[in-house]
Amino acid sequence: MSHRITLEGGDGFDVSAGEDTLLRGALRAGVGFPYDCSVGGCGSCRFDLVSGEMESLWDGAPGLSERDRRRGKRLACQSRPLSDCTIKVRTGEEYRPPVPPVPMTAVLVARRPVTASMAEFILKTAEPAHFIAGQYAVFRPPGTDGTRAYSMSNLPNGEGEWRFVIRRVPGGRGSNAMFDALAIGDTLDIDGPYGHAHFRAEAPRDVVCIAGGSGIGPVVSVARAAVAASPGRRLFVFEGARTREDLCFPALMGTAQDGVTVYTPVLSAEADGSGWDGVRGFVHEEVERAVGPRAEESEFYFAGPPPMTEALQKLLVVKWTVPIARIHFDRFF
């Protein structure tokens, strides 16, 4: 059984009655539905319900403002069709999934600590791991409500291996469940890939990757892809962390780091007198100082906490006027 979703003034698509959200059903059908985080935080997948019945999965999702709610706006990632529906939304080719997302069952085969608060979770699926470096998957940590989005830290492969760098967040139900309630050998339903901040292998420019905190996962994936795609291409990686103990790019990259032109760690809270003679401060400030004239010939990929991504957007778009098409990141909350 399926529900027919008609786009006002356009075509339609079918969503399985068992599908968990309108957004995932649309993307699986190859529709260019706008989105970023896919878990209710960013608001990019807002739409209007013209007719039909739609169930809301999270009434308090932060992706909708009070003004949005008064106007009757809904989030496709938090809506489930209960009948045939007509909706109003502006779709676009730029949102069409390059790899259609697929629901899968994965087994946790290993968990490798990379810092005191972060670990790389290694899962295996029966299906090949089809994605593009820099994308993410969504899954529901055991015993929690709602889904979480985590980016892959490895490259696509035929063996069905999916790697995710996850940081244990104090008080975070999802991340703590991943560390405490998921044992080796347990299964987890995952869904992916999603995301627009994937590596553009066809772009001939230098690659600049910037990571903050657990945003290191997709940056490692993109860096690996850049090294593999064009060994002669210049690749600059900036990793922002609080202290030396929080740095993990070298450990995650391994010997592939030999293909990185320059790796620059930047520490914001390293103790005075610790012996650290590297860069201190915020990572976006070092990017501004070090990249400078190379901005117009570079492709930018970044992931990290909102203050970092906002500062980088201001630097790249407002100050350096880098074309939007060369700036790649996914908005989370």
pTM score, whole prediction: 0.89
Residue pair 328/226 in contact by the 8 Å Cβ criterion: no
SS3 284: helix
The CATH number of the domain covering residues in 102-194: 2.40.30.10
| DSSP letter, residue 305 | -
Residue-level pLDDT at 17 = 86
Residues with Cβ < 8 Å from 332, sequence gap 6 or more?
Answer: 36, 37, 39, 41, 42, 149, 306
Q: What is the pLDDT of residues 169-224, one digit of tens each?
A: 998 899 999 999 999 999 999 999 999 999 999 888 999 999 998 899 999 999 99
For domain 2-94, the CATH class is: alpha beta
Task: Kindly indicate the confidence band of residue 332, based on its pLDDT and cuts at 50, 70 and 90.
Answer: low
Q: Which two tokens stand for residue 106?
A: 């994965």
**Residue 133: φ, ψ to 5°:** -50, 130
Q: Which two tokens stand for residue 275?
A: 């012996």
Percent of the chain with pLDDT over 70: 99
Q: What size, in residues, is the chain?
A: 333
Residue-level pLDDT at 94 = 87
Residue-level pLDDT at 14 = 93
Average pLDDT, the chain: 93
Residue-level pLDDT at 258 = 93
Interval 315-333 mean pLDDT: 89
The CATH number of the domain covering residues in 206-328: 3.40.50.80
Percent of the chain with pLDDT over 90: 83
Query: Beta strands 2-7 and 85-88: pairing type?
Result: parallel
**Helix (H) or strand (E) segment spanning residue 302:** strand 298-303
Residue pair 284/215 in contact by the 8 Å Cβ criterion: no
Interval 228-243 mean pLDDT: 90
Q: How do the domains of the chain map onto residue ranges?
A: 2-94, 102-194, 206-328
